[in-house]
């Protein structure tokens, strides 16, 4: 049991609010959150960007993956306050400014890479980062890219196809390397 | 126009889901209070005292409820959903523990607060005093019955059922060969990526309840919650949002939380939401599969099974809300494509101090198939025969269809297979996997120090389970077609395949069709999504409803064009005279004409107003007719229909690491007419992955005290890529 003064300190820490500045999908946002607010909850419930999903809250399933300064990161394993100043891309930010789907999104549609769609945002962000790093993956490398994400519906075969298809679409669009969607 | 039925078109669901615009349960209700639960840490205990005093002053707490706070029918046990004469000792839990807990995870106290963080803060401060009782864990402990889960249930036996076709015991006694097998399957769980969740809003002005829940049956939840809360069905809407997978676990209803959240929302006059987290899903939703089987089989020199006697024990967990469905499916679907000379099956469904056991994809069939296929392999091994040959010799022949297995199936109807060509399926599979050449392949690998093995398994899958599904199709005056069916979707692409059916039946383009599922506001009569029944049940109902709408559209258009209805057709959303494309009227205009108006709401509607013409000698709406282009129909088959299939796999094993690598996996599945082959393939991919997971990786591991040892994705191993 914590002492009374420790309890009071804990209670205070639960309620003290911090300003967090983020650039989310290219838009500067500021939120006031308690220190313990998970980044996933901040995105979903404070910023109402509910495309990022929470499947396990312990960093295994990958559904909550977002791009943090371009790098795939599990938003359920991070506090919002620690992301202060970061540029974040969520699934909502993968779509092109003109509304067309990104190569990865389009590839999932082409290859029937999703069923219930709950894990999908995490796959899309993970693959987006993976292809930025390795634009021409072999099938084995495609599997490596998605090795840390769980899907219970598809059996993964069509997701692997979608990774390769996305690489093909990116090549056709002349996109190479980091930063490109 | 190209037929849509049978085309592997991309799914209409995908665009929304790919943009992050899906709306799953926890994406809704940002204004709602959040519920959290204090759950039992003991597998079996008496609840002596609940002290909530430390939680009352936590900021943001709106309410705290224990069993004593529940009222009316909310304080009664949850319903026993599927009663059966053999279920002699059915027991169900209470929404909150009523003095006793029977599994780790059973809800004891509900906290409602401003957000989930605060609700969990308060839950942490609630002190529950338990008197632990000895726990019954696992099939063997339940059978031994040295301890009881429920003191008034002797032997821990919830139900006991025997079915016989012929005299199996005598047939085995007189057979040339007999074998005994002891076969066990461990527990697994559906484990959708999205857990359960429910949001409820009580409208204090209209005094109506609206519920969103991540379910496989919105009409079931509606009926159950209305009964619990004493509300008229008409005053309760249940809406299924996007559902992040289910695989059986979400057919159970009402969950404790599905009763308590609407009850609290009504009491507080505020929206309340509960979102299950992952550990709660492991300990407090449902599992399946755990069964021990004893098989005695008698067969002749050719491997023909003369008698089969199966006894098994099913672990149903602490309560049995879903009845005996899982062991009934094991006991009947065990026979698969085979026709033993005589069959006897006997099972007991046993209580244990673990979370409830309810259907998970296959719902008892995987156990039955495992038992039968192991038995056939054992027969083949005993006789030194090819396993495929022994299967072939025991198959029901196509010319014997329809084939009566002489048992009662899970729908309460005779187990009569309507169709199937098992020898053809097996022949095709053998060619695909290279069955006949495998011995050489294996020997070649062996020479390189690699160890290969091959396995195969056959099954028959009952689907199209009743009692019914229905559908409604309406043509809007815009020409858009709204389709509703009551069962729910959780990723199977129902919006796409049902729209494909309507596109062909009604002659309209896909882009003009919108399908709604699982929303009681759109269609209030339904059973639910389980047992691969949607295409058969709702697919048929949707086709019938679309045909009714088509007939009406043709009748109205024929009258307007002074043509005979039999000379009319609908293509591309235009109703016209066959062979005369210029004659056509847009379907939306036909909808306008079908509804005699006094008031024009736009220019098109002027054609239907009372000074626009029409037969002054007849009523504007003929006797027995209705305004509008609509169709409403139900499909209720006499009994289930049966799909079947054969799988084969070649694996390589590493004797040092025990790693198993799948080299080739082949499936021949007779699913009847394919509506969308791309979606069918996706379903099969996913089913195979879950089967591989069940065979090689997944095991729900309780220790002897009833603590779940692997309640996380780190420790419960689902297949990854």
B88 to chain A, minimum CA–CA distance in Å?
36
User: Does pLDDT of B253 surpass 60?
Assistant: yes
User: Does pLDDT of B31 surpass 50?
Assistant: yes
Cβ within 8 Å, pair A110-B10: yes
Segment B541-585, tens digit of pLDDT: 999 999 999 999 999 999 999 999 999 999 999 999 998 878 899
Residue B418 to residue B544: CA distance in whole angstroms: 22
List the 586-625 stretch of B: residues with Cβ below 8 A of A.
none
Cβ within 8 Å, pair B721-A112: no
Select from B18, B24, B493 the Cβ nearest to the Cβ of A118: B24
Q: Which two three-digit tokens encode residue B196?
A: 């359960």
DSSP B402-421: SEEEEEE-TTSSEEEE----
- Average pLDDT, integer, range B260-270: 98
- Average pLDDT, integer, range B187-211: 97
Residues facing B185 on adjacent strands: B291
Cα B531 off chain centre by? 5
Segment B473-488, tens digit of pLDDT: 999 999 999 999 999 9
- Residues of chain A contacting residue B683, judged by C-beta atoms under 8 Å apart: 115
Select from B17, B26, B720 the Cβ nearest to the Cβ of A117: B17
Closest CA to B613 of B588, B596, B592: B596
Q: Which pLDDT score, from 0 to 100, does residue A179 have? A: 44
Sequence-ordered list of residues with C-beta below 8 angstroms from that of B59, at least 6 positions apart, any chain: A15, B114, B118
User: Does pLDDT of B5 surpass 50?
Assistant: yes
Residue B589 to residue B575: CA distance in whole angstroms: 9
Q: Which pLDDT score, from 0 to 100, does residue A13 have? A: 67
A176 to chain B, minimum CA–CA distance in Å?
22
pLDDT range class, residue B284, cuts 50, 70, 90: very high
- Average pLDDT, integer, range B652-666: 95
List the 480-509 stretch of B: residues with Cβ below 8 A of A.
490-493
Lowest mean pLDDT among A10-19, B93-102, B520-529: A10-19
Q: Which pLDDT score, from 0 to 100, does residue A181 have? A: 42
Residues facing B662 on adjacent strands: B651
Cβ B313 vs Cβ B143: under 8 Å: yes
Sequence-ordered list of residues with C-beta below 8 angstroms from that of B219, at least 6 positions apart, any chain: B238, B486, B520, B524, B525, B526, B527, B528
Across the beta sheet with A87-89, what order do the strands follow?
A27-34, A17-24, A87-89, A65-68, A71-74
**Residue of chain B nearest A46, judged by CA positions:** B30
Cβ within 8 Å, pair A152-B193: yes
Question: Tell me, what's the ipTM?
Answer: 0.95
Cβ within 8 Å, pair A120-B10: no
Q: Which two three-digit tokens encode residue B281?
A: 């899903």
The percent of residues above 90 in pLDDT, for chain B, comes to 94
Block residue for tokens 């609407």: B262
Cβ within 8 Å, pair A119-B278: no
A177 to chain B, minimum CA–CA distance in Å?
22
Select from B244, B685, B714 the Cβ nearest to the Cβ of A155: B685
A155 to chain B, minimum CA–CA distance in Å?
4
A180 to chain B, minimum CA–CA distance in Å?
17
What integer best gives the mean pLDDT of chain B?
96
B685 to chain A, minimum CA–CA distance in Å?
5
Q: Which two three-digit tokens encode residue B140?
A: 């063997």
Q: Which two three-digit tokens encode residue B147?
A: 């301890």
Cβ within 8 Å, pair A152-B686: yes
- Residues of chain B contacting residue A14, judged by C-beta atoms under 8 Å apart: 117, 121
Closest CA to B320 of B634, B110, B112, B90: B90
- Average pLDDT, integer, range B104-132: 97
Cβ within 8 Å, pair B14-A110: no
Q: Which pLDDT score, from 0 to 100, does residue B610 have? A: 79
Cβ within 8 Å, pair B721-A156: yes
Select from B121, B244, B721 the Cβ nearest to the Cβ of A116: B244
User: Does pLDDT of A130 surpass 80?
Assistant: yes
A113 — phi, psi (to 5°)? Answer: -85, 5
Q: Which pLDDT score, from 0 to 100, does residue B581 have? A: 76
- Residues of chain A contacting residue B277, judged by C-beta atoms under 8 Å apart: 57
Cβ within 8 Å, pair B720-A101: no
Select from A58, A112, A152 the Cβ nearest to the Cβ of B718: A152
Q: Which two three-digit tokens encode residue B94?
A: 């209470």
pLDDT range class, residue A2, cuts 50, 70, 90: low
Interior CA angle at B530 toward B688 and B337, to 5°? 60
- Average pLDDT, integer, range B298-302: 98
B307 — phi, psi (to 5°)? Answer: -150, 140
List the 43-62 stretch of B: residues with Cβ below 8 A of A.
59
Cite the beta strand spans of B518-672 per DSSP E: 568-571, 574-577, 580-586, 629-635, 641-653, 660-670
Lowest mean pLDDT among B278-282, B494-498, B613-617, B630-634: B613-617
Residue A85 to residue B251: CA distance in whole angstroms: 44
Using CA atoms in the order B689, B693, B696, B698, what is the torsion angle rounded to 10 degrees?
180
Residue A128 to residue A15: CA distance in whole angstroms: 36
Cβ B528 vs Cβ B488: under 8 Å: yes
- Average pLDDT, integer, range B86-110: 98
Chains A and B form CB pairs within 8 A to the count of: 161
Select from B193, B687, B714 the Cβ nearest to the Cβ of A58: B714
- Average pLDDT, integer, range B517-531: 96
B330 to chain A, minimum CA–CA distance in Å?
24
Closest CA to A47 of B32, B27, B119: B27
Question: Which of B244, B250, B492, B676 to mutate: most A Cβ within 10 Å?
Answer: B244
Q: Give B702's DSSP letter.
A: B
A158 to chain B, minimum CA–CA distance in Å?
8
**CA dihedral over B507, B511, B513, B517, signed as positive or negative:** positive
Sequence-ordered list of residues with C-beta below 8 angstroms from that of B85, at least 6 positions apart, any chain: none
B394 — phi, psi (to 5°)? Answer: -100, 0
Does A112 contact B at CB distance below 8 Å? yes
List the 410-449 stretch of B: residues with Cβ below 8 A of A.
none
- Average pLDDT, integer, range A82-89: 97
List the 97-136 stretch of B: residues with Cβ below 8 A of A.
115, 117, 121
Cβ within 8 Å, pair B14-A154: no
Does B7 contact A at CB distance below 8 Å? no
- Average pLDDT, integer, range B388-396: 98
What integer best gives the mean pLDDT of chain A?
93
- Average pLDDT, integer, range A22-28: 97
Lowest mean pLDDT among B36-45, B114-123, B477-486, B608-617: B608-617
pLDDT range class, residue B613, cuts 50, 70, 90: confident
Closest CA to B637 of B527, B546, B550: B527
* Cα B10 to Cα A30, A109, A114, B493, B548, distances in angstroms: 39, 7, 11, 10, 27
The percent of residues above 70 in pLDDT, for chain B, comes to 100
Residue ranges of the alpha helices (H) in B230-275?
A: 256-268
* Cα B671 to Cα B333, B533, B645, distances in angstroms: 16, 12, 8
Q: Which pLDDT score, from 0 to 100, does residue B611 have? A: 78
Cβ B198 vs Cβ B274: under 8 Å: yes
Strand pairing category for B45-51 and B127-132: antiparallel
Cβ within 8 Å, pair B719-A63: no
Cβ within 8 Å, pair B17-A36: no
Q: Which pLDDT score, from 0 to 100, does residue A84 have? A: 97
Cβ within 8 Å, pair A116-B18: no
Residue B11 to residue B4: CA distance in whole angstroms: 12
Cβ B250 vs Cβ B192: under 8 Å: yes
Does A43 contact B at CB distance below 8 Å? no
User: Does pLDDT of A11 surpass 80?
Assistant: no
List the 113-142 stretch of A: residues with Cβ below 8 A of B.
114-121, 124
Q: Which pLDDT score, from 0 to 100, does residue B1 have? A: 56
């Amino acid at each position: 049991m914590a002492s009374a003064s420790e309890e009071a300190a804990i209670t205070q820490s639960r309620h003290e609010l911090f300003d967090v500045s983020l650039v989310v999908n290219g838009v500067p946002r500021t939120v006031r959150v308690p220190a313990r607010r998970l980044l996933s909850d901040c995105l979903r419930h404070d910023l109402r960007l509910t495309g990022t999903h929470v499947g396990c809250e312990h960093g295994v399933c990958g559904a909550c993956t977002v791009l943090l300064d371009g790098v795939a990161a599990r938003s359920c394993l991070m506090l919002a306050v620690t992301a202060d100043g970061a540029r974040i891309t969520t699934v909502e930010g993968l779509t092109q400014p003109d509304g067309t789907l990104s190569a990865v999104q389009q590839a999932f549609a082409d290859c029937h890479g999703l069923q219930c769609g709950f894990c999908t945002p995490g796959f899309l962000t993970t693959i987006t980062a993976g292809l930025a790093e390795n634009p021409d993956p072999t099938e084995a490398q495609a599997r490596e890219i998605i090795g840390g994400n769980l899907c219970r519906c598809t059996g993964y075969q069509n997701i692997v196809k979608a990774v390769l298809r996305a690489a093909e679409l990116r090549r056709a669009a002349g996109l190479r390397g980091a930063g490109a969607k | 126009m190209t037929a849509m039925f049978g085309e592997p078109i991309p799914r209409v669901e995908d665009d929304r889901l790919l943009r992050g615009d899906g709306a799953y349960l926890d994406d809704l209700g940002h204004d709602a209070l959040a519920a959290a639960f204090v759950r039992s840490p003991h597998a079996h205990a008496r609840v002596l005292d609940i002290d909530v005093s430390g939680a009352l002053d936590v900021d943001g707490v709106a309410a705290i409820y224990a069993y004593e706070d529940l009222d009316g029918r909310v304080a009664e046990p949850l319903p026993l959903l599927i009663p059966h004469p053999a279920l002699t000792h059915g027991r169900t839990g209470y929404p909150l523990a009523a003095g006793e807990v029977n599994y780790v995870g059973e809800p004891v106290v509900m906290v409602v607060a401003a957000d989930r963080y605060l609700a969990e803060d308060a839950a942490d401060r609630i002190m529950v005093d338990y008197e632990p009782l000895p726990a019954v864990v696992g099939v063997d402990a339940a059978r031994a019955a040295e301890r009881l889960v429920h003191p008034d249930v002797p032997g821990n036996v919830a139900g006991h059922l025997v079915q016989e076709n012929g005299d199996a015991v005598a047939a085995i006694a007189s057979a040339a060969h007999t074998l005994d097998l002891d076969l066990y399957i461990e527990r697994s769980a559906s484990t959708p990526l999205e857990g359960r969740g429910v949001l409820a809003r009580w409208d204090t002005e209209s005094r109506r309840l609206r519920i969103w829940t991540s379910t496989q049956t919105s009409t079931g939840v509606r009926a159950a919650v209305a009964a619990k809360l004493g509300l008229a069905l008409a005053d309760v809407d249940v809406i299924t949002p996007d559902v992040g997978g289910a695989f059986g676990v979400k057919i159970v209803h009402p969950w404790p939380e599905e009763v308590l959240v609407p009850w609290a929302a009504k009491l507080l006059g505020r929206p309340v939401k509960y979102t299950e987290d992952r550990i709660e899903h492991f300990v407090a939703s449902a599992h399946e599969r755990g069964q021990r089987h004893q098989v005695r089989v008698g067969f002749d020199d050719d491997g023909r099974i003369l008698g089969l006697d199966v006894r098994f024990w099913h672990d149903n967990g602490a309560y049995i809300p879903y009845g005996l469905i899982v062991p009934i499916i094991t006991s009947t679907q065990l026979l698969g494509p085979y026709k033993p000379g005589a069959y006897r099956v006997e099972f007991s469904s046993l209580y244990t101090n673990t979370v409830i056991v309810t259907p998970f994809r296959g719902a008892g069939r995987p156990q039955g198939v495992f038992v039968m296929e192991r038995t056939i392999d054992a027969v083949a091994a005993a006789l030194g025969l090819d396993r495929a040959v022994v299967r072939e010799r025991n198959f029901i022949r196509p010319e014997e269809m329809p084939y009566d297995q002489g048992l009662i199936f899970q729908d309460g109807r005779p187990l009569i297979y309507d169709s199937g060509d098992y020898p053809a399926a097996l022949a095709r599979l053998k060619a695909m996997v290279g069955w006949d050449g495998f011995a050489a392949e294996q020997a070649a690998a062996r020479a390189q120090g690699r160890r290969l093995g091959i396995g195969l398994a056959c099954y028959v899958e009952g689907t199209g389970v009743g009692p019914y599904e229905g559908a409604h199709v309406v043509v809007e005056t815009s020409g858009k077609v709204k389709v509703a069916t009551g069962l729910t979707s959780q990723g199977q692409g129902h919006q796409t395949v049902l729209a494909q059916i309507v596109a062909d039946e009604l002659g309209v383009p896909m882009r003009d069709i919108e399908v709604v599922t699982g929303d009681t506001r759109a269609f209030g009569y339904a059973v639910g999504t389980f047992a691969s029944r949607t295409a058969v049940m709702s697919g048929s109902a949707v086709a019938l409803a679309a045909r009714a709408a088509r007939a009406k559209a043709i009748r109205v258009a024929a009258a307007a064009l002074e043509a005979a209805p039999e000379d009319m057709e609908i293509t591309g959303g235009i109703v016209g005279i066959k062979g005369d494309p210029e004659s056509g009227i847009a379907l939306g205009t036909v909808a306008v004409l079908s509804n005699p108006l006094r008031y024009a709401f736009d220019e098109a509607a002027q054609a239907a107003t009372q000074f626009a013409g029409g037969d002054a000698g007849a009523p504007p709406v003929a006797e027995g007719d209705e305004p509008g282009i609509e169709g409403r129909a139900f499909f209720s088959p006499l009994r289930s229909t049966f799909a079947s299939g054969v799988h084969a796999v070649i694996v390589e094993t590493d004797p040092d690491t025990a790693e198993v690598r799948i080299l080739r996996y082949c499936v021949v599945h007779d699913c009847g007419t394919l509506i969308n082959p791309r979606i069918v393939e996706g379903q099969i991919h996913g089913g195979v992955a879950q089967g591989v997971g069940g065979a090689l990786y997944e095991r729900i591991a309780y220790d002897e005290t009833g603590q779940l040892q692997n309640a996380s994705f780190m420790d419960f191993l689902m297949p990854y890529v």
